[in-house]
Chain A
Amino acid sequence: MSCATESGNCGSPAGQSDLSPEIWEKVKNHPCYSEEAHHHFARMHVAVAPACNLQCNYCNRTYDCSNESRPGVVSQKLSPEQAVKKVLAVAEKIPELSVLGIAGPGDALANPQKTFATFRMLQEAAPDIKLCLSTNGLALPEYVDEIVKYNIDHVTITINMVDPEVGEKIYPWIFHEHRRIRGHEAAKILTERQMRGLEMLTDRGVLVKINSVLIPGVNDRHLVEVNRAVKERGAFLHNIMPLISEPEHGTFFGLTGQRGPSAQELKTVQDECLGGANLMRHCRQCRADAVGLLNEDRSAEFEEVDEMQPIYDFEKRRAYQEKVDRERLAQLAAKEKAKELAIRENALDLKVLVAVATEGGGRINQHFGHANEFQIYEVSSISGKIATSFAGHRRVDLYCQGGWGEEEKLPSVISAINDCHAVLVAKIGACPREELRNAGIEPIDQFAHAFIEEGLIGWLSDYRTRVESGRIEHRPRGDASIRQGAYIAA
């Protein structure tokens, strides 16, 4: 068995310095595999794979697959020909597009003809777009050769357990070798095939991300074991996502009152897995036909597939990517400089969470009222040195609509970032500013349009000074809530 961590250091998925050059080359422009890339590059999914070969208790097949989309949404189903046309049309309008994924709305490998036909045609028409697919892993061992053949160098497998005792509480049945199999036997076959498929892929050099749905009371204590098992088999990233179980989605878990985790519970499990397979914390659980940067969904602009006559412009796309490369170097330099400036001996040790409003590009460039999500960073000062790491994102209801803020929306925004000490924004109105202060969250606009890390480090450095001088008292923050419901274009 090969382990990616032995050959090239898995390190942190956040940056170039931690990865071997060939792996960095594969992930640097992939918004789902690199947290850093997700500020600059866009992905799209095409819904060419409607069938599934098993049932999950958090899924209602009237809607899309919940592993890869948010529960309760329906995607526009496409033929492979329509899908390719749509990708080209999107690439023409959105030069940020770097990745095409097939993630359902069922399981990519339960629809092998449609999935691979799409990849084959797209590879001919737009060879610079990276391909990836998502699967529950049941059919995976049969298709590893084909995955390698089409140069699909990113595969996501949803693995919620490595123990059939846990698995039978998540999967009521599978359809395998012409039989519907239930209970313990079904979960045993599934986990064996998932592990085998994972080993086969990593042996062939395919980067594999593991998605796990955190289900409190079912697999929350077990995900550390899953993390260890997938790391052993060479998984590149582990993405632990919260269960979403609104009763109106009609899932088994939704109807039986199984709750999802709080932000703190999610972070606790993610932190328990530190040292194991790398964690991905920027997943948006986007729908199977999502289009755009990870914090947006522009799929509504691209619905009239049959009317489209796209022109694929390599030059325009290359120019954009070169611009991004320059920006990323500047971002890295700014971060190093800010770190340098903030070094101070005998400083107080602190570790806090900070929310950031950004529209992409790695900068603090969004108005508080225009944010439909905040990026959450952990910022720490240890032995006088300040470090930042991405901790996740929080989706919120847009506070500002039609030019002015809606007061009843503010409490929900606050509860989504209630575990943060500050929120960094490009601009903020007087009213929400006051409310945030009352809630104990500092609204900060002095780093408007700076790179995110510059702002984070600058703010913590200042906060540290204020705490040390006794002007303010450092207090721990409470928990925050994870917003339920489908993520669609606002």
Chain B
Amino acid sequence: MAYKIIASSCTGCSACEPECPNQAIFEKNGTFLIKPEKCTECIGHFDEPQCVAACPVDKTVIIDTAYPRYSA
């Protein structure tokens, strides 16, 4: 699986962008998006997904069940 950002609750603050170990996060029209093919859920990098931990708005970065679980 990958994480995704709910655009309607993203404040565009950019806190997540530099934290991503895979450079999977980018800005579009003032809010941020995650490229699912690049997202590794931070497995192998950190104990918790960095975008989720850094985001100031609860439930804005959530798991996207449309993608299979990442395996390293």
| Contact pick for A111, options B14, B19, B48, B56, CB 8 Å | B14
Cβ of B12 < 8 Å from any Cβ of A?
A: yes
**Complex interface: chain A residues within 8 A of B54 (CB):** 51, 53, 175, 180
| Contact pick for B53, options A50, A61, A105, A175, CB 8 Å | A175
- A residues 40-99 touching B (CB-CB < 8 Å): 50-53, 55, 61-62, 77
Q: Is the CB of B57 within 8 A of A110?
A: no
Q: Is the CB of B15 within 8 A of A110?
A: yes
Question: What is the CB-to-nearest-CB distance from A159 to chain B, in angstroms, rounded to a whole number?
Answer: 20
**Complex interface: chain B residues within 8 A of A55 (CB):** 56
Cβ of B11 < 8 Å from any Cβ of A?
A: yes
Q: Is the CB of A61 within 8 A of B11?
A: yes
Give Cα distance in the complex from A52 to B54, angstroms. 8
Q: Is the CB of B46 within 8 A of A52?
A: no
Q: Is the CB of A180 within 8 A of B53?
A: yes
| Number of interface residues, chain A, beta carbon within 8 A | 17
Cβ of A197 < 8 Å from any Cβ of B?
A: no
Give Cα distance in the complex from A105 to B15, angstroms. 12
Cβ of A179 < 8 Å from any Cβ of B?
A: yes
Give Cα distance in the complex from A51 to B15, angstroms. 5
**Complex interface: chain A residues within 8 A of B37 (CB):** none
Q: Is the CB of B13 within 8 A of A52?
A: yes
- B residues 50-65 touching A (CB-CB < 8 Å): 50, 52-54, 56-57
Given contacts A178-B46, A179-B48, A180-B48, contact A62 B15 (CB under 8 A): no
Cβ of A106 < 8 Å from any Cβ of B?
A: yes
Please classify how large the interface on chain B is, using the bins under 10, 10 to 19, 20 to 34, 35 or more.
Answer: 10 to 19
Q: Is the CB of A52 within 8 A of B12?
A: no
Given contacts A55-B56, A61-B56, A61-B57, contact A178 B50 (CB under 8 A): yes
| Contact pick for B13, options A51, A113, A179, CB 8 Å | A51
**Complex interface: chain B residues within 8 A of A51 (CB):** 13-15, 54
| Contact pick for A53, options B15, B46, B47, B48, CB 8 Å | B15
Give Cα distance in the complex from A105 to B14, angstroms. 11
Give Cα distance in the complex from A61 to B54, angstroms. 12
Give Cα distance in the complex from A179 to B54, angstroms. 8
Give Cα distance in the complex from A413 to B53, angstroms. 45
B9 (CB) vs chain A CBs: closest residue? A62
- B residues 1-25 touching A (CB-CB < 8 Å): 11-15, 18-19
Give Cα distance in the complex from A106 to B15, angstroms. 9
Question: What is the CB-to-nearest-CB distance from B69 to chain A, in angstroms, rounded to a whole number?
Answer: 21
**Complex interface: chain B residues within 8 A of A77 (CB):** 12
Q: Is the CB of B57 within 8 A of A178?
A: no
**Complex interface: chain B residues within 8 A of A106 (CB):** 13, 15
Give Cα distance in the complex from A180 to B52, angstroms. 9
B14 (CB) vs chain A CBs: closest residue? A51
* Contacts A50-B13, A106-B15 known; 6 new A-B pairs at CB < 8 A: A52-B15, A61-B11, A113-B18, A175-B54, A179-B47, A180-B52
Complex A-B: 8 CB contacts under 8 Å: A50-B11, A113-B18, A175-B15, A175-B54, A178-B19, A178-B46, A179-B47, A180-B48
